[in-house]
Structure 1
Amino acid sequence: MDNIRFGALSDIFSLVSNLSPHMTVVLTNTTVGSLWLEKLGELGAESIVIPDGEEYKNIETVKEIWRRLQELGFTRKSLLIGLGGGVITDIAGFVASTYMRGTMLGLVPTTLLAQVDAAIGGKTGVNFNGKNMVGTFYLPDFVLVAHETLSTLPREELLNGMGEVVKYGILSRDVYSLLKDLRSVEELDAALVKACVSVKMRVVSEDFRESGARRVLNLGHTTAHAIEKLSDYRIRHGQAVSIGLRVAAKVGEELYGFDSGKVEELLERFGLPTRLPFEPDDVLREMRLDKKAWYGRLTFVVPVEIGDVVVEEVDESLVRRALEAVR
């Protein structure tokens, strides 16, 4: 976790100073820019502001950012800072990793989802006929996790991040213990965020390019990405992950006797969705196209018990039963 700083937004000035970039450009969206861009004024940075929304996470947006960087005279020794949620941090990482074959990159995640997951671990990407179908692995020079940026989030956005937080609660007994004492999403504190990041970085350090061990972080995501695509991304990522976790829990229950009730209790306590909004056949069709279906076979992250999951091929008939159980 050497490149991750937990602190205040003002810490960005020392982080940038340490890099001594030729130029600094902040990439953000209209919503986040109106809230936090002024706070970074002392950087003297240029800014690129794109519309807010998952629908803008595409190659056309990237091309426009590339064009703007060229106009600004951005070089390989320049720094691109992604200030925003998962869409922004994913796009910023992809742009930095591809422009001139790689520039300096800093990330300032401003949503719970981005702080515990999207901005951590070096994955970048844009949507192309599917969620994150085009992307790279590229580590940022720094990630600044400033808990204060969560203060402006609406409850809906906090809930969107809680889907990933519950995922870490299944992957880690330590996170699960913290979650058991949390009565509402509004009580979430910096310690829980840091615990989630610690789990992710431990896994990433073992398998940066997702050739094996890192795949456990996709718990709930095979179903989630199918739901997102079927909804034309109107259903947000964390909400889709919540439903996906319940499906995975049902698969684990049938295969290993996993207590799916523990997952359902957490999801319901925080007001997260648990019901599949589409027909199981439609979800299965999209699952077969998911990039995690290695060699064309359906692969699932299956919980055995809290703190223990396995990655394995799962028979479609079992997955169908799990989908039907949460319909």
Structure 2
Amino acid sequence: MHDAYPVTVVTFPQALLLDIAGPVQVYTTANTLAGKPLYRVQLAAMPDVPNPVTDSGLCLSPTLDFTGTLPRGDLLVPGGPGVDALIGDSAFIATVARQAARQTRLVSICSGSLLSAAAGLLDGKEATSHWVRGPDLHTRFPAVRWRPDAIFTIDGATCCSAGVTAGIDLILALVERDHGSALALEIAREMVVYLRRSGGQTQYSRPLQAQQATGPRITPLCAAIADNPGADWTVGRMAAFANMTDRTLQRHFLRDLGQSPSAYVMTLRLDLARSLLDQGARNVAQVARTAGFRNEQAMHRAFSQALGTPPGAYRDRFGGRGARAD
């Protein structure tokens, strides 16, 4: 791209402010760090609501009429509480469909994917949305290939993110496609986003998944493991904690979480090690000890099996090196 690439953000009453501000900040930071305008971001609104008020009460000042001619580039559709009213607004949905057809990419943030789906723009495409919307996505829009647990999806020129801050992850991924991983990682560090999450990562944290999936005898154990994954969590110790036999413990974990107790502990240790490396830890051996691995070699095997890369390479690619102080 030689000229600043146009990005039009459609705004509306009760749009979620962070769905707009998060992506816009990524574009702005890209321009700042590159030392030149890579992206030209403009806000658009329907003419009957030229200055919409967001969910947090801030009034926006769009410069473009959403019914008029927009610069060809990306169309970004945010979500928010106002989405539900707009799904039934035939004029707005028709305008979204018409404008998206003229753009290079469609970028739906959070529940904004419901507006894009209502316009027929996601039919046959992979898409995601905020996890709260998950239960009825397939029912309302069966032609869409929903991936309700994904952080974001990129299906050709159709892009969707999950809830709120996942929009930042999606825009970072698009910046990486446009201008390379070095700039994307520099933006992530500048914004103190320690790890650019991949689209395949789940938007649910593992402790939250365990809390939702397990019964009253297993939930306290999972919480204790999450609080201190580096502790010596043998099967015997876990069974004693839950006041059940080893075999019963195995059965509960396989039924509720789809993995053995030992595998669950290993997963949380891997998450802790990744988090430490994301935040700039340089000593791999120390990270291995803190996360509860027997030794550095054990962590090396776990990283290679789960992520396809050893911890040292993971650290070099994703490890934060500090943001600039303003």
**Structure showing the higher helix proportion among its residues:** 1
Q: Which has the larger radius of gyration?
A: 2
Does TM, normalized by the shorter one, top 0.5? Answer: no
Q: TM-score range by the shorter chain?
A: 0.3 to 0.5
